[in-house]
Chains A and B, each alone.
Chain A
Amino acid sequence: MNTTVKQMILLFLISAGVLIPSFSFCDDYMNIDEEAFTKKQRPFVSFNHDEHNEMAGLEEDCALCHHMYEDGKLVEDESSEDMACSECHAKENDPKQMELAATYHKRCRECHVEKKQGPITCGACHKKVK
């Protein structure tokens, strides 16, 4: 094998070694409810669900976020993991989804302020893609 081919193979292996783990790493991240926001204002929030809940000690407490309301009343011992937040919180005919965005902000920020942990400023969640 000549040197150029060897270098090409080496380069391929290095880039595969870098890319494959980073792809699988990205798998843990989710863009929450991305389809609901048709007119995006800020860089989308990428959220690592499992890592967040492990750090926050929330593995058993799904209904803290995935709550269930019926007739405006919180249903105890019921959770809604199989639903998207937008199923209840989105408003029709609002491309900016102001109310849904506000619901997310309050859910995340109020907890972070209370626990004194986690991001609270706009840009700390809505990170600009560099």
Chain B
Amino acid sequence: MHDIYAILTGPLAWLSFAVFLGGSLYRFISLYQLARKKDGAVFQYMDLKFALRSIAHWLTPFGAKNMRMNPAMTVVTFAFHIALFIAPLFVFAHVVLIEESFGIHWFTLPDSVADILSIIVVLSCVFFFARRIMRPEVKFLTTWVDIVILIIVAAPFATGVWVFHQWAGFPTMTLVHIFSGELMLAIIPFTKLFHMFLFPFTRGYIGSEFGGVRMAKDW
């Protein structure tokens, strides 16, 4: 227990941050080079105005036509993404650990709020899973990797709720909590979770490509 804890909170924590940052940098550079080599037209199509307009629409709840067509998905995905970032960054137990390691701290949420946000993340993952197996057009695109990613994303939050409420076996579950968080961070650069950084570029490109013309059936 003590040895595993020491490894998880020591070398493995640093490793996961290094893989996350280093991997992200590598992916940025390699994707840029790939686009330059294979699809130079991307750079000519890029238009700041249309890019920013599309990004703004997609960052606004129900701001894009696609979101109005799928209201349930829109509500869940916004709740999910907001909770996903707010809960781990502002839960008291994490901020006090930052204070212990780096001597800085910031605003913290009441534990009950962090608890609810974490439950929202877990339930959202259940929704995404159901959507992946029930909607034919989504099922068609789903592979086992998508399901594994959903489990890895849900795991730190499910175990976080578990250890906060001190349900049976919570000391071991604390180790699973730490590990699953590190795992999630480390896989970001190499999975579709990388959309957290790529989103402005993919969205910006699509926005630039259609420009002022909507619903053009030019595919």
Measured CB to CB, the residues of A under 8 A from B are 41-42, 96, 98-99, 101-102, 105-106, 112-113, 116-117, 119-124, 127-128
Contacts and interface: CB of A to CB of B under 8 A. Distances in A.
B135 to A, nearest CB: 39
B93 interface: yes
Contact of B170 (A96, A105, A121): A121
Contacts of A119: 171
B18 interface: no
B93 A122 contact: yes
B2 A112 contact: yes
Nearest to A103: B100
A41 B92 contact: yes
B6 interface: yes
Pairs A-B, 9 closest by C-beta atoms:
A121-B174, A116-B2, A102-B99, A102-B100, A123-B166, A98-B105, A121-B171, A128-B166, A41-B92
Contact of A120 (B1, B95, B99, B164): B1
Nearest to B100: A102
B115 to A, nearest CB: 12
B59 to A, nearest CB: 32
Interface in B121-164: 163-164
A128 B164 CA distance: 9
Nearest to A126: B166
A119 B97 CA distance: 16
B2 to A, nearest CB: 4
Given A121-B171, A123-B170, A123-B171, A113 B5 contact: yes
B74 interface: no
Contacts of B2: 112-113, 116-117, 120
